[in-house]
Amino acid sequence: MRGTREAIATDQEIRAAYTSYIAYFGRYEVDDEKKTVTHHVAGNLNPTTIGLAQVRGFELSGNRITLRTPAQNALVWERVS
């Protein structure tokens, strides 16, 4: 991912993608005692969070992990077997 990319899509397509899709990557740390995971954002579709640490609460249940933002939005991941 380059920090300076040229958009090839239309403004409407860019707006739709930006408001409906979340993708980021970077290293993370898990605090079992506090039940949190801290993502150290190395790259993101939203460049305003690159370089920041994002703390999320987590819950484990069977094959699922639920991450919760401070605003209580939930992201559920399920392991496929």
Tens digit of each residue's pLDDT (9 = 90 or more) over 7-26:
577 888 878 877 877 788 99
pLDDT of residue 2 exceeding 60, the answer is no
Rounded CA separation 16/39 (Å): 25
- Range 39-68 average pLDDT: 93
Q: How many CA atoms lie within 13 A of 48 on its CB side?
A: 2
Q: What sign does the CA torsion over 43, 49, 53, 57 have?
A: negative
